[in-house]
Amino acid sequence: MTDEKNGTTRRGLITTGAMAAALAVTLPALAAQQTSASTTAAAGGKSDGNASGSGMFTVKDGTQIFYKDWGSGQPIVFHHGWPLSSDDWDAQMLFFLSKGFRVIAHDRRGHGRSSQTAVGNEMDTYAADVAELMAHLNIRNAVHIGHSTGGGEVARYVARHGRGRVAKAVLIGAVPPIMLRTAKNPGGIPMDVFDGLRKAVAENRTQFYREFPSGPFYGFNRPGAKVSEAIIDNWWRQGMNGGIKAQYDCIKAFSETDFTDDLKNIEVPTLVLHGEDDQIVPIADSAQLSIKLLRHGTLKTYPGQPHGMCTTHGDVINADLLAFIKA
């Protein structure tokens, strides 16, 4: 039934009412957590259990790292993929905040709102930046979750800096052990593929950052795929917010870094999640090799799911993450 005067439908009003009711329950709960955290911080509480929101942290070489830090409880630290930012974890940040966790995510140097660095755009420095930030926030007993390039960052951080601070780790669609085809890694991706990425970024980054998420990243190039222009726009927005030099350099970091020793040296329980239709980081040369190197690893794969499954299938991934963290 249509109300001609107001141009609305009864169904629309019912839907709007239902949304309002849901928000009325959810938003106050989230706000209460934030208020509690802010109150403690204002009273002089240290940042090891109560977060204040977001901020900038300057690491030892002068680079400013943007981070979000919400809620209280056991910390979960999220590490984003290339060439994105901490905003790529929106669905996970809100979900785990509502479950009573403290959620933290940063923009890697050169990406998002962090300094557009010309140097230090390689995995050792990425991990060292995380180590400085974790020390600054006094983060311990944390679960570190990394997607794609962020999975490599997690592996290197946990192996080299995380002793005594990390409870568990998660690698999602992650680049370890090594993406590049070499004599020791014959199933890897040829160098000319990565050279093609560099060429696309250098010649017309804005066009490439439309094409990449429109196609293989989210599996939108598959027959019958439900394409979301909003998701594509958000990917483009995040990519264009970073610096081209750092993003160009990062291609070498995520493709050529060998994480074999890092994986062998991780002592904490590690969950490896991977989409079986991942066209960006093929599962056969990543997750299926990583699981053989981890001391305490668990592998879970998802038939038909793409590289960007944390966005396209967030409800499924969040549930599996929660089960692992609580186990």
Query: How many whole angstroms separate alpha carbon 327 and alpha carbon 72?
Result: 19
Q: With CA atoms as reference, report the closest residue to 284 among 187, 178, 170, 192.
A: 187
- 253: tokens are 């970091």
Catalytic member of 129, 262, 278, 285: 278
- Which helix or strand (DSSP H or E) is residue 176 part of? none
Give me the residue label for tokens 């017309």: 204
- 225: tokens are 């795929």
Catalytic member of 148, 255, 286, 290: 148
Whether 3 is catalytic is no
Whether 36 is catalytic is no
Could you write out the DSSP letters of every residue in 256-321? H---HHHHHH--S-EEEEEETT-SSS-GGGTHHHHHHH-TTEEEEEETT--TTHHHHTHHHHHHHH
Give me the residue label for tokens 């690893």: 297
Residue 155 CB contacts under 8 Å (≥ 6 apart), including other chains: 146, 169, 171, 174, 176, 259, 262, 263, 266
- Which helix or strand (DSSP H or E) is residue 241 part of? helix 229-241
Whether 148 is catalytic is yes
- Parallel, antiparallel or unpaired: strands 2-3 and 8-9: antiparallel
Query: How many whole angstroms separate alpha carbon 107 and alpha carbon 125?
Result: 14
Task: Note whether 171 and 255 are within 8 A (CB).
Answer: no
Catalytic member of 79, 80, 144, 307: 307
User: Which residues are annotated as catalytic?
Assistant: 148, 278, 307
